[in-house]
Amino acid sequence: MGTAMSFAQFANVGILGGSTVTGWDSDTDMVTTDGVTYTLNNVVITVPPANGGVKFRQDDAWTINWGSDAWPTGTGTQGGANIPAVNGTYNVMFNRLTGEYMFMDPTAGVNSYEAVAFKVYPNPTQNVWNFSAANSVINNLQIVDVSGKVIFSAANSTTVDATSFASGVYFARVTSANAVQTIRVIKN
């Protein structure tokens, strides 16, 4: 993975809520290298007696926001419920296209979601994408189109036959035991 790009190049996504340090008034910006997967490490969650929970939102405005009633992982929907929270410190991952999110305890053996380097080749392709993960096993692989629709999903797969896909840009969501990454892939 490269270094994080400036938010001027991608949509700004942040986390906020009654259970965060900044409350409902101010977003804590997340970091992205691809404009799809956003991460933030060491987020402190403190659940107050009332008005708790968290949400993700784009560009510090309520016009585009994601919420859900699931913790610690789930898929947020536009304008969804506040995500219930549990006291602790978490590394957070959010996918802007699919709404999928994950809050993970950084002391559970992984210090960052960027700990595993996933690769795809050839990219672009006309036929097959091959995926690999350095020192890790790929547990799940999804291909998502630009509208956010999952068009391929397989457990324990490292190849995707793209011959039946229309030419264009897709996103591969690759999951291992300790990392999740979204990779932009192209079908010629």
Of the CATH numbers 2.30.30, 1.10.287, 2.60.40, 3.40.50, which one belongs to the domain with range 13-104? 2.60.40
Question: 78 falls in which pLDDT band (50, 70, 90)?
Answer: very high
Domain made up of 118-187: CATH architecture: Sandwich (2.60)
pLDDT score for 162: 94
What is the residue extent of each domain of the chain?
Answer: 13-104, 118-187
Contact 83, 19 (CB under 8 A): no
Give the pLDDT mean for 24-45.
88
pLDDT tens for each residue of 49-72 = 677 899 999 999 999 999 999 988
Contact 53, 17 (CB under 8 A): yes
Residues 6+ apart with CB under 8 A from 42: 89, 90, 91, 106
pLDDT score for 7: 44
User: Global pTM?
Assistant: 0.57
